[in-house]
Structure 1
């Protein structure tokens, strides 16, 4: 096709230029025609420069694909960097368009999310690198997934080039762990008690299910080992009356419990808002006979009319519908989002928990691990929120900052920052995949023989897959190569010798920095 087009252009230009060339006074015009023909032929014969898509390590992912992670538990997942390299030689400005093929996928803002998947446009003024973040909303099924991402570049002439990038989702939810039956410490027991609801709101089983689910999602991450039991009648809890933040009453526990006793009930007041808090009359959680700086009972109260409006509540949103949960004043709110938030207040983010109270009075939560993760001490405001705090891994707003962040808004989720804050006020966290440190599992490499095929694998765990493997000191035996994606060593070594090398692995967690981990290996190649 390009050859026929080129020949057609040449015939037309030469036909036009022939009589002009015979006239000496008009030869400059003919020369311009021939130069223009050469340019047109070049454009017709040369394909558009290739569109290159890379991961954060600079590796092309057109064939291998990009790996996303669905962390264990119902948690805001990490946003993974993807770089699109706009080539030289195109007429700019150009428009870069990205589309995902699944509703749980999301791009960093500005972008849109929806039932057909996310969409994002970037205007490029010149050739260079555009960095995009891609994430996936969590689900609960424990199954890996495969999706795709289409990247299209349209230059100033309207010429388009595109690539389709495979997306591999590693789901880290342990199958069969719905009830926490594994080798780790048990979850914090959160007993949700509906007996104090006088509005009838929790007569609806769908409303009860949401409250139980939101409480269970928090408890999944909180270590409940050694919880002391509280006998019937020993716990005094202050809760609100149905008039909505106007008057209170005191209730005592009718049954024995361990961990946290959460009263869930409706209110019908003029403020049109829900709430959650630990009780100032509550005792403290204890472990091994030691009192913890954490209250052991409190309330989660739901405004029956809606969230700052009278539109009622939604309980019908599946994980694929996360983007519908705007929770704006004009909309019917997602009950799960509000339950998650208010139960977070009852468990963690409230001044009746002494360490959080200290942070509230100081205006910041001050704790080394939280500071190391966020790069600063997070602010605490008078409403027990963390204003301005963005979770570095997921790029979503942390507790009380849910309407903000670099990713599209939707159903509110626990973030890794929230859990580190929970640890800073006294909770102990269970080891889940979001907190598993990057580690190199491979201790030694097997010996090989020169002239014979060799295969070995470097293995890593923890961190945020995918991994990047590099030899940073020493050399591989001639004839062997390292797959930077998989850590596989393959080839046929050529010379017998003892080789010493240092290998570095990095993960996809940008918030962890660039250092990664290194390990020295000795690889002996013997003679045939």
Structure 2
């Protein structure tokens, strides 16, 4: 082969296969996401998740018409808006383009993963087929942020009473019983409650129907309780539903009736007599796509979750819900702010099934049609906001209810001519964030990554720079948030994080935690990040009182600043009641002089500056709150 042809062949082989025939994928902020990919969020594991919308522009260097097949690969939980298909390995969808000027949108979401889990990584594959049957393939990452790192359970005890399931005996099946109980618990996972006054045995009358709602029987609790009492009964006809006790008795706390008022017991009636229907009881994450709302599969969990909604809120026996219906929801500003409109309930206390009333961020509803393929009924943020009218306060600290915010409050100084990186941390909203500098300017040599919030580079010119950063989340109705930072290049604090060069030691470490986790140099995503037995956090449970963690260097360091990231796992480890920094004088530990203050903030670094000290050891001294333990995710130290 001639030399020229050999060189040409090698060049052709070296050219990336996706360079030609590459489609461009753009998000709602106008960012091309081909390289970074996309980010989805799993909201607490029991709630319908927000979707993201992407625009596909076909390649311009291939003959038309063109089809692009989308495949979200890696888990059956991935889904795309209709028309699309669900499969055991992910969702598929086809887009067709008549010419290069056309562009099409699609929506991508993920079904919730029940229970706590770690962040996930999947793949979005695009297969482009030109009119000459030439195909091109490209891929990009799908990142999934798991907001639930620890189990989320109801904060009041729930008693399930099966004594009267004597018509059909459905609940004798353990899998059936578990699926049904989870459908009830899913509501209470999102309520901010404390136990009520104790209801004595025999003090809570209720009633249960027989077939065709005939032969009603009167029932009562056979034990004392201070949470919610739930009766389950299977009947053969005509339908499933739920309702609260209509006995004029309501929950109290410390002798005072609670607003709502809140009924003391509820009942869930399950009906199943359809020929050819298969009862589906699996709660496995990878099985959800096998469920159906209409069709041959009757999903126990989804049906109970939906129908128990009538027992817990969506029923005329709840005074607050009667008022909501009578006013067509016009007085509920939280619902209006979220959905962008009033959301009335129909005469049967359902959210209307039209697309205008689908949950705005997830595209799902309690009805028969959704923006996505209709499978298991899922609890939605909209349904919870409406349910609050029954008197159930929502836990507003859970991520679905947090407004977007920038939690980073300050940036350490940057040494001139040295590599620098600090990542801004955001919280709340739909966290496929867009970060931008909207005022002032970063120091020359530094840039802000729009996707990650990382400020990085090598600053070249000394001075103090002021700039304003804007964060936008993926909710189109969210208001952007801003924060102004000052960053000093050269002089004062600098030289980068010195903590990774030190050896960590701690007063006490739980057997499943790691003291060595505190100085890895990483950046936690929240105070509840990390996991037991993973070596990525330090905790002292069950030890309480004063605890400490310290860094020891092989030679003396000049220190002027420290940053501390607290662990708060919502399971016994909380922010400290107080804390301070100490340094080793050579004979003893003393508090650092002139500390700028000791903030106690979750989900961000707590920064302390002080006049320079020369030492081989820096200690973080923590005092726990009563009946709680303390922990750290990361400590940074700067010269």
Give TM class, smaller chain.
0.7 to 0.9
Q: Deviations over 1:410-431 (max 9, x none)?
A: 0111011111111233210122
Query: Which residue of the partner structure matches residue 107 of structure 2?
Result: 133
Higher relative contact order (CA 8 A, sep 6+): 1
More helix by share: 1
Provide the aligned C-alpha RMSD in A. Answer: 2.5
1:252 and 2:220 correspond: yes
Query: Which residue of the partner structure matches residue 413 of structure 1?
Result: 378
Q: Which runs of 4+ in 1 moved over 6 A?
A: none
Q: What is the CA–CA distance in structure 1 between the aligned matches of 2:276 and 2:132, rounded to whole Å? A: 51
Q: Deviations over 1:157-209 (max 9, x none)?
A: 3333331111121222223x25x4xxxxx624332111121222222222221
Q: Deviations over 1:504-527 (max 9, x none)?
A: 1122234x43x4210111222236
Q: 1:77 aligns with which of 49, 59, 73?
A: 49
Q: What is the CA–CA distance in structure 2 between the aligned matches of 1:419 and 1:267, rounded to whole Å? A: 28
- In structure 1, stretches of 5+ residues that fail to align are 8-45, 181-185
Whether the 8 Å contact between 2:24 and 2:56 is mirrored in structure 1 is: yes
Q: What is the CA–CA distance in structure 2 between the aligned matches of 1:50 and 1:95, rounded to whole Å? A: 12
TM-score by length of 2: 0.69
Q: 2:174 aligns with which of 198, 201, 205?
A: 205
1:163 and 2:138 correspond: yes
1:290 and 2:254 correspond: no
Whether the 8 Å contact between 1:95 and 1:123 is mirrored in structure 2 is: yes
Q: 1:99-498, aligned counterparts within 5 Å?
A: 99-101=71-73, 102-126=75-99, 127-140=101-114, 141-175=116-150, 177=151, 180=153, 187-199=155-167, 200-240=169-209, 242-269=210-237, 271=238, 273-287=239-253, 289-293=256-260, 294-306=262-274, 309=275, 311=277, 313-316=279-282, 318-328=284-294, 330-364=295-329, 366-387=331-352, 388=354, 389-397=357-365, 399=366, 401=367, 403-430=368-395, 431-498=397-464
Deviation at 1:247, TM superposition (A): 3.9
Q: Deviations over 1:432-457 (max 9, x none)?
A: 22122222111122222433333322
SS of the residue corresponding to residue 418 of structure 1 reads helix
Note closer, same or farther for the CA distance 1:196–1:489 as it changes in structure 2 (3 Å cut).
same
Note closer, same or farther for the CA distance 1:449–1:139 as it changes in structure 2 (3 Å cut).
closer
TM-score by length of 1: 0.83
Q: What is the CA–CA distance in structure 2 between the aligned matches of 1:115 and 1:455, rounded to whole Å? A: 40
Whether the 8 Å contact between 1:190 and 1:219 is mirrored in structure 2 is: no
Deviation at 1:467, TM superposition (A): 1.9
Q: What is the CA–CA distance in structure 2 between the aligned matches of 1:327 and 1:527, rounded to whole Å? A: 65
Whether the 8 Å contact between 1:188 and 1:220 is mirrored in structure 2 is: no
Q: What is the CA–CA distance in structure 2 between the aligned matches of 1:115 and 1:451, rounded to whole Å? A: 51
Q: 1:60-99, aligned counterparts within 5 Å?
A: 60-99=32-71
Q: Deviations over 1:470-502 (max 9, x none)?
A: 101111111111122222222222222222110
Q: What is the CA–CA distance in structure 2 between the aligned matches of 1:221 and 1:131, rounded to whole Å? A: 33
Deviation at 1:248, TM superposition (A): 2.1
- In structure 2, stretches of 5+ residues that fail to align are 9-17, 493-639
Note closer, same or farther for the CA distance 1:290–1:115 as it changes in structure 2 (3 Å cut).
same
Note closer, same or farther for the CA distance 1:362–1:525 as it changes in structure 2 (3 Å cut).
closer
Whether the 8 Å contact between 2:155 and 2:192 is mirrored in structure 1 is: yes
Out of 281-290 and 517-526, give the one that drifted further: 281-290
Q: What is the CA–CA distance in structure 2 between the aligned matches of 1:420 and 1:332, rounded to whole Å? A: 29
Q: What is the CA–CA distance in structure 1 between the aligned matches of 2:330 and 2:92, rounded to whole Å? A: 37
Q: What is the CA–CA distance in structure 2 between the aligned matches of 1:494 and 1:243, rounded to whole Å? A: 80
Q: What is the CA–CA distance in structure 2 between the aligned matches of 1:320 and 1:495, rounded to whole Å? A: 54
Q: State which structure, 1 or 2, has the greater radius of gyration over its C-alpha atoms.
A: 1
Whether the 8 Å contact between 1:295 and 1:352 is mirrored in structure 2 is: no
